[in-house]
Chain A
Amino acid sequence: MPRLKAAAFLAGCAEADFGAVTEACELTPPTLSKAATALEAAGYLRIRKGHVGRRPRTWLSLTTRGRCAFKAHLAALAALTEQGRAHDA
């Protein structure tokens, strides 16, 4: 779930600061860090170090591959939901 939340947030913007993602996704920094590392290892996420003024910031963004994978994942979830509804009916 942390990976899905982080990917969903990053799919809605071009790039986001690590702190902004933890806040919006209601994740703790270690949880997001672990999720980001896993997504980066899969080639879905880009991690960039930068500064705003003197404060160091870590910027996260989805790669093109990550955006495609996220769309495919949402489509798979939607299909599962439909299957569940059809099964119940």
Chain B
Amino acid sequence: MTPQAALTAAANVRRTAAAHRMPSWFPAVSASTFTLGMVISGVAQLNGFGSGARSGMSTVGAALIVANLALYPLLVWRWRRSGVIPRADGCVPATRRRIALWATPVAFALSAVVWVSTGSFGWMLMATGVLFGAEGWYRQTGWRQR
């Protein structure tokens, strides 16, 4: 076999493996369940709601966050069943990797700023939901771009 043929065969096989990646729906569903769950939980903490409405919103918020957490074992289970676990690191473009490195501490800092400036736990929950939802979506869509 010629070196050119070996290179082509290796590239084809590698492409087959790389085709197993995170499903396209995952980043959007993961980000939206987390953000909605945190925002609804945050709104429930604000004044102006009756105890019934508050407990209802807290339950819905908690259910969405639990659903978000359950998505990850489901994803891993799907990968394990298919027999191929995609690479999570080393396949993200360098710019995204650099931004993602800073995004988590920045999201923490901004959530803390919101908590301190408003003095409201509800607003902090909402800010955390939006910031970490966006950060997670950005990181996970990066895993799909190879």
Other-chain residue from A12, A14, A81 in contact with B88 (beta carbon distance below 8 A)? A14
B96 contacts A by Cβ under 8 Å: no
Q: In the complex, A9→B19 CA distance in Å?
A: 11
Contacts of A4 in B (CB 8 A): 6, 9-10
Other-chain residue from A1, A10, A81 in contact with B9 (beta carbon distance below 8 A)? A1
A13 to B3, Cβ gap below 8 A?
A: no
Please report which residues of chain A, range 24-81, place their CB below 8 angstroms from some CB of chain B when the two chains form the complex.
24-25, 52, 57, 74, 77-78, 80-81
B13 to A20, Cβ gap below 8 A?
A: no
Contacts of B15 in A (CB 8 A): 12
Interface residue range, chain A? 20 to 34
Residue of B2, B6, B15, B18 most packed against chain A (CB within 10 A): B6
Q: Chain B: which residue is nearest A78 at the CB level?
A: B7
Contacts of A81 in B (CB 8 A): 2-4, 7
> How many chain B residues touch A (Cβ–Cβ < 8 Å)?
25
Min distance, Cβ A7 to any Cβ of chain B, angstroms: 8
Q: In the complex, A8→B85 CA distance in Å?
A: 15
Q: Chain B: which residue is nearest A24 at the CB level?
A: B16
Contacts of B2 in A (CB 8 A): 81, 84
Other-chain residue from B3, B4, B17 in contact with A16 (beta carbon distance below 8 A)? B17
The 4 A-B residue pairs with the shortest CB-CB distance in the complex, in nearest-first order: A12-B17, A20-B83, A17-B83, A8-B10
A-B contacts, 6 of them at CB < 8 A, read A12-B17, A16-B84, A78-B3, A81-B2, A84-B2, A84-B4
